[in-house]
Amino acid sequence: MTSAEHVDVLIVGAGLSGVGAACRLQERLPGKSYAVLEARDTIGGTWDLFRYPGIRSDSDMFTLGYPFRPWKDAKAIADGPSILAYVRETAAAYGVERHIRFGHRVVGASWSSAEALWTVSTAHGATFTCRFLYLCSGYYDYAGGHVVDFPGREEFAGAIVHPQHWPAELDYDGKQVVVIGSGATAVTLVPAMAPRAARVTMVQRSPSYIVARPGRDALADRIRALLPENLAHRVVRGKNVVMGTFFFQLMRRLPDWASRTLRDRVAAQLPASIPVDPHFVPDYAPWDQRLCLVPDADLFQALRSGKADIVTDRIARFTASGIELASGRTLPADVIVTATGLRLVAFGGITLSVDGREIEPGEQRAYKGMMFGGIPNLAWCVGYTNNSWTPRADLTSQYVCRLLEHLDRRGFVSCTPDAADASSAGRPRPIVDLASGYVKRAAAGLPKQGGRRPWMMRQNYLLDLADMRFNRLDDGVMRFGRAGSPVSASR
C-alpha cells in the first residue's frame, strides 16, 4: 500500500484561480508546503479546455489578470490562447509548475477532527493528506456541457458540435453553419466563424443583452504610457473594478433605463434588415443574466456584412439537411453548433465527508462566499458573476492566507464557520444569483447563500475588499479549534 504524501495546503485545480492561489500562498507563507492537483495534463483549466473559434475573455484583462502580475498585452479583451499563455507564464515565473501533480483527478476528501487532517483520494489511486484543502476548480463541469436532445438529431447528415468539445479537424469553410444559442459562446462563435463559412445563422429561443466595447482600453493605454508598469496596473485595475461595480449597481437600480439604453445602442449598430425587436429585446432585466460582451462590435460587423444572420424562434426538429423551426421556416445547415450552455458542479464533483458524515453540497451555506458551516479547513474559490472572476478569487486566496497565519500564530489547528449560525441565516438563495438556464438547472446541487452577513455572497468588490482584507477573523461565527475537537457538519 502506497503511503500518502503530506502537505500543509492542497490546492485542487491548476487553472487561473489555482495558479493565482499558489502564487499568493508562496508570497504570504513561504514556509508552507503545498501541492496543486490537476486532473488534466497541462496548466490552464478553462482556458485550455475550451478551444472553439474566437474563444476570448468576457471581461477586461486588467481585472481578469492577476493583481500581482501586470497584463502587458495591448488588447484589454484578450483571446483564449493569449490568456492561456499568461497563466502558464505566471506559473513558470513564480515556480508553481514544480508543485503541480498532473493527471490527478480528485474524487474524494474526508476530514478527521481527531487528526485535524484531510485525506484526499484521486481517481488513479494516489492519496494525499493536508491541513487545509483549497478547491480552485471553479464550478464548470469539465466532463461535458449541457446537451439538448433535439427531435430528429440522429437524422441530420452533417456535423453536430458542442463548443466544449470542439474537434480540431472540423472543416466549415464555405459551409452553411447554424449556431444554436444566445449567450456568450454563441455571440463569440458567430463573428469568428463568419469569414470562413458561407453563412452563419444564430438561432435563439430568447435574446440576451449585448454590450459592444472596444477591444483596447484607450484610457488604460494612456495611463500605462505615463506611469511605471506596476503602478499603472494598479491604477487601471482599480479604475475598471470601480467602473464595473458602479454600472452594475446603476443597472440594477434603474432597470428600465438600463434595458432601454442597451437596446438603443444595439439598434444603432444593426443593418436595416435586422430589427432590434425581437432579436435583441430580452424578457428580463439587465444582470438577471450576465451581459454578453462583443469586443469591437464584431458580432454587428458580421451581421452588417451579410455573412451572418440571427433568427429568434423555437426549434421544432432537426432534419437531414438542417433545422425546422416552430414557425415552419427551415434553415439549411452543413454544421450545427449546439451552444446550449454549460453544466455546473459543486466542489469539482468531489465527494466530501467530515468525521464520517457525507456532505451534501446543495445543503451547505456559504460563509463569505468561500467556506461552509460545519466544514473545517476547506475553502472553495468562486469569482464574481457581475465582474471579472479574479478580483474575488484573489480576495479569497488572500483570506485563506490570513486564516493560515492566524492558526499558526495562535496555535490552532482548525477553523470552522459555525453550522448553527448558518442554519439561522435566513431563507437560502442560490450562491450564483443569476436567472440563466445553466444556473437554474444546477441550483439544487450547489451551495446556498443566506440573507445576512457573513452568509451572503455579495457582488461588490469594494465591500468584500474591506471585509476580507481588514475585518477580524475571529468574528463570532468562525470557530477555531485544537486537535481532537469534533465538529458538527450542517445537513
pLDDT at 129: 97
- Residue 292 has what DSSP assignment? E
Identify the CA nearest to 490 among candidates 385, 308, 396, 360: 360
Q: What number is the average pLDDT over the span 340-358?
A: 93
**Tens-place pLDDT, residues 279-332:** 999 999 999 998 999 999 999 999 999 999 999 999 999 999 999 999 999 999
pLDDT at 491: 31
Integer-rounded Cα radius of gyration of the chain: 23
pLDDT at 485: 61
Confidence bin at 121 (pLDDT 50/70/90): very high
- Please determine, for residue 459, whether its predicted confidence score (pLDDT) is greater than 70: yes
Q: What number is the average pLDDT over the span 412-432?
A: 90
* Helix ranges restricted to H, 41-79: 46-49, 61-64
pLDDT at 143: 83
pLDDT at 145: 84
pLDDT at 435: 78
Please give the CATH number for the structural domain made up of 5-143+343-481. 3.50.50.60
- Please determine, for residue 159, whether its predicted confidence score (pLDDT) is greater than 70: yes
**Tens-place pLDDT, residues 424-453:** 888 888 888 787 887 888 888 999 999 899
Cβ count near 316 (within 10 Å): 17
Q: Round the average pLDDT of the chain to a whole number and report it.
A: 93
Residue with the larger pLDDT of the pair 249 and 145: 249
pLDDT at 2: 58
Residue with the larger pLDDT of the pair 434 and 11: 11
Cβ count near 24 (within 10 Å): 22
Q: What number is the average pLDDT over the span 357-365?
A: 94
**Tens-place pLDDT, residues 386-396:** 889 999 999 99
pLDDT at 186: 96
The C-alpha atoms of residue 397 and residue 69 are separated, in whole angstroms, by 15
Extents of the domains making up the chain: 5-143+343-481, 153-217+270-338
- Please determine, for residue 357, whether its predicted confidence score (pLDDT) is greater than 90: yes
In the CATH scheme, what architecture does the domain 153-217+270-338 have?
Answer: 3-Layer(bba) Sandwich (3.50)
- Please determine, for residue 166, whether its predicted confidence score (pLDDT) is greater than 90: yes
The C-alpha atoms of residue 61 and residue 295 are separated, in whole angstroms, by 13
Q: Determine if the pTM surpasses 0.75.
A: yes
Q: Extract the C-alpha cell encoding 414.
A: 482548525
What is the maximum span of the chain, computed from C-alpha positions, in angstroms? 72
5-143+343-481 and 153-217+270-338 agree in CATH topology? yes
Q: What number is the average pLDDT over the span 42-70?
A: 94
**Tens-place pLDDT, residues 23-51:** 999 999 999 999 999 999 999 999 999 99
In whole angstroms, how far apart are CA 398 and each of 386, 454, 465?
21, 17, 10
Q: Extract the C-alpha cell encoding 186.
A: 454563441
**Tens-place pLDDT, residues 197-219:** 999 999 999 999 999 999 999 99
pLDDT at 6: 96
Amino acid, single-letter form, for residue 442: A
pLDDT at 489: 40
**Tens-place pLDDT, residues 376-388:** 999 999 999 888 9
Query: What is the length of the chain?
Result: 491
pLDDT at 488: 45
